Structure 1
Amino acid sequence: MSKKILHVCNADNFIPPFIDFIEKQFGLDGHFFWINGDFDFYPVKQHKSAYKVKKSITGQMIGFVKLIYLLNTSSKVILHGIFNPRVILILFLMPWLLKKCYWVMWGGDLYVYQLGEKNWKWKVKEFLRRPVIKNMGHLVTYIPGDVELARQWYGAKGEYHECLMYISNVVDPDMIQEAQAGSEEHLGINILVGNSADPSNNHIESLEKLLPYKEDEIKIFVPLSYGNHEYAKKVIETGKAWFGENFVPITSFMEFDEYLKFLKTIDIAIFNHNRQQAMGNTITLLGMGRTVYLRSDVSQWFFFEDKGIKCLDFNLFNKKFILSKDAKSNSKICLNYFNIIMLRHQYSEIFK
């Protein structure tokens, strides 16, 4: 076990495809996945290289005892987000582990510093998180702005490793070519608003921007299949009241291929998040040559700007499309950077 690379994961949509990626590109002999979470909602197939922590109290106790052993005996530790308070507590109490830890930064695990509800629970968690993040040996992301925020907010000293992180951030050349050939036939303009029922999407503000165009031929699609259900209900009520049948909430989970097919029908996307989020959606749409509106004060805006990718400023929303030459340039840049060869190379550097 001492030579293995340990992956510490919460059950999520990203993890099963990531395990498949590791298996195909590197083989699983050198890797072990410790996974905790709701396996009914996020299924993970049984595998000798994966340990699924059981929901029961006993199962949780056994799982975290096993984690402590694995953390101390593995050569490297890849932390797929740092959300779990128990994992953070273990790292807080065992700081010698941090030098071999690679924090794959998801966004929400960083921006809780800025956006979390500042109550006593937040203060306790931040007390534990601060030294863990500060002394984390390695920071893994492809958005330098997030690394800078980790250094600014927590004094993070870890080495930065540029990495696309997950398959969801890789564009499929065949899909791009097919999308560029033309979107599926539809009347008017299809507009995507947000990517989840997380309040950080700021749906209501986005819908307000669309109100001047409510009499135009537009159809507004809003993915709300996961996140805060009460918040989703409020968004649906508002959207229906303002736009009637032209507001289409998506409340059922779509399989990945089905979702990609849906994205091909989108003309304009609005991602009015107040933090780095929805990058997989954004990258896919930009690769397809679609128009994407973002806030200009978030780290992904500066990331895309640095890569030469053209997005439009949400604050200046006017229902216009990007220029054809910019759409083609965006697609080319996305194909050259967000690809499986790049992802494999980046992880090979981390694993070696």
Structure 2
Amino acid sequence: MTKRIIHIFADTPHHYKPMQQFFEQQCRPNAEQLFWVKTPESIPNFVNYKNNAELFDLLERTNAKDQIVFHGSFDMHVWKKLLLSSVTKRCSCVLWGAELYRHTKSNRTIKERIVHVLHALVINRYKQVFALNKGDAKLAQRVLFKRNVNVLPYPLIGMKVEQEREQLTPAKPLKILVGNSASASNNHIDALNKLAHLANENIKIIMPLNYGGEQSYIDEVIKHATALFGDKFIAITEMLNKQDYDKLLNDVHLTVFAQHRQQGLYVAYAMLLMGKPMFLLSNTSSFNYLTELGFEIFKTDEVASMSYSELSDLISKDNNRNPDLMNQHFTEQALAPKWRNMLEQLHG
């Protein structure tokens, strides 16, 4: 019987398409790989399922030796069915972070506590569990009671770095990227308030608000940002293809994150690869993990006291350390052997 590994993705094209290419081209194991994605439409090189009923129909028809990898697992209805399925012992998962942090909120409802227990039960039936950094691995061990959680980051895929760094002039403002999505976990308003003292300077505040958030929240953020920065604020509300998104990341000068958790790794890795300043909250697993590896990361709380000239000096400095460390730790070439080894081990 042919060895098979089945990768299961949520409906996130910016993730599953490059990862499929990475698995097939960069780290193909000694096994056939299949790629499933939750989407209403057929996509080349993928098996699509529209709902959980179709997913479990596919799972029940897998071979007894097939190994299954969930890339992110957020749906408690999937957990509930997996808890009662014989398939689960052949499943592994990569925790993205968001599914962990939901269990750390204070004042959780009874339903949320039941979901927490359900998640812990199903995680402990999985064959292997992985987190994207050491802090999230420790959190998974603590809140899901899973003894062995290994660290295996996703790589930065296909990012082309423009070599020429734009110089600031009266016609070319300092471009600050704030957050990575419309999710309220970005704490956009807090980040905007920390930048408010720069409102009269030659800046542009650029904010991706094109996925992941409620419209009422997006409207509130846009209203607040416009009140602070006027036409110096740019909201991105339409989805960008990868080429345009990468161009945006090449175009900005620095990034400010105000999330209290690990989030926006594609943006973070791109900034590090380009040697651009990045500000993270110092209590996040991302900040601790990256600084432990030697990356130069700035604290979000400090940006509130930094002047325009200080930020201008910061972006004009050559930073070779971060790009060098990115090439060591988070590029496709660095991570392909680790992912290949993980996939090979699934079949023992």
Which of the numbers 194, 206, 225 marks the counterpart of 1:239? 225
Q: What corresponds to 2:182 in structure 1?
A: 197
| Residue 41 of structure 2 is aligned to residue 46 of structure 1 | no
Q: What corresponds to 2:263 in structure 1?
A: 277
Q: What corresponds to 1:257 in structure 2?
A: 243
Q: What corresponds to 1:340 in structure 2?
A: 332
Using the TM superposition, name which of 331-340 and 209-218 deviates more: 331-340
Which of the numbers 153, 161, 169 marks the counterpart of 1:164? 153
Alpha-carbon distance, 1:265 to partner: 1.6
Alpha-carbon distance, 1:54 to partner: 3.0
Alignment of 1:25-174 (within 5 A): 25=26, 26=28, 30-37=32-39, 39=41, 45-47=43-45, 50-54=46-50, 60-70=52-62, 73-94=64-85, 97-115=87-105, 118-160=108-150, 162-166=151-155, 169-170=156-157, 172=159
Residue 36 of structure 2 aligns with an amino acid whose one-letter code is W
Residue 114 of structure 2 aligns with an amino acid whose one-letter code is V
Rounded to whole Å, the distance in 2 between the matches of 1:171 and 1:332 is 17
Partner-residue secondary structure (3-state), 2:23: helix
Which of the numbers 202, 206, 215 marks the counterpart of 1:221? 206
Distance verdict in 2 for CA 1:347–1:99, change over 3 Å: same
Is contact 1:193–1:270 with CA below 8 Å preserved after alignment? yes
Alignment of 1:6-25 (within 5 A): 6-13=6-13, 14-25=15-26
Distance verdict in 2 for CA 1:282–1:249, change over 3 Å: same
Alpha-carbon distance, 1:28 to partner: 10
| Residue 183 of structure 2 is aligned to residue 182 of structure 1 | no
- Normalised to the residue count of structure 2, the TM-score between the two structures is 0.87
Partner-residue secondary structure (3-state), 1:212: helix
Partner-residue secondary structure (3-state), 2:326: helix
Alpha-carbon distance, 1:347 to partner: 1.4
Is contact 1:135–1:156 with CA below 8 Å preserved after alignment? no
Post-superposition CA distance 1:276-322 (Å, at most 9, x none): 00011011011111111100000000111111001111111125444
Residue 205 of structure 1 aligns with an amino acid whose one-letter code is D
Partner-residue secondary structure (3-state), 1:264: helix
Rounded to whole Å, the distance in 1 between the matches of 2:55 and 2:106 is 28
Using the TM superposition, name which of 224-233 and 84-93 deviates more: 84-93
Partner-residue secondary structure (3-state), 2:283: coil
Is contact 1:137–1:158 with CA below 8 Å preserved after alignment? no
Rounded to whole Å, the distance in 2 between the matches of 1:333 and 1:203 is 29
Rounded to whole Å, the distance in 2 between the matches of 1:337 and 1:204 is 32
Using the TM superposition, name which of 339-348 and 129-138 deviates more: 129-138
Rounded to whole Å, the distance in 1 between the matches of 2:315 and 2:230 is 31
Rounded to whole Å, the distance in 2 between the matches of 1:346 and 1:150 is 21
Rounded to whole Å, the distance in 2 between the matches of 1:11 and 1:116 is 29
Rounded to whole Å, the distance in 1 between the matches of 2:77 and 2:259 is 28
**% identical aligned pairs:** 26
Post-superposition CA distance 1:49-99 (Å, at most 9, x none): x321135xxxx53442222333x62432211111122321122113x6555
Q: Structure 2 stretches of 5 or more lacking a match?
A: none
Alpha-carbon distance, 1:188 to partner: 2.6
Rounded to whole Å, the distance in 1 between the matches of 2:127 and 2:177 is 38
Distance verdict in 2 for CA 1:269–1:159, change over 3 Å: closer
Is contact 1:7–1:77 with CA below 8 Å preserved after alignment? yes
Residue 52 of structure 1 aligns with an amino acid whose one-letter code is N
Is contact 1:5–1:76 with CA below 8 Å preserved after alignment? yes
Residue 223 of structure 1 aligns with an amino acid whose one-letter code is P
Post-superposition CA distance 1:320-343 (Å, at most 9, x none): 444877722111111222221222
Which of the numbers 283, 291, 296 marks the counterpart of 2:282? 296
Distance verdict in 2 for CA 1:339–1:74, change over 3 Å: same
Partner-residue secondary structure (3-state), 1:88: helix
Aligned length: 333
Alpha-carbon distance, 1:29 to partner: 6.4
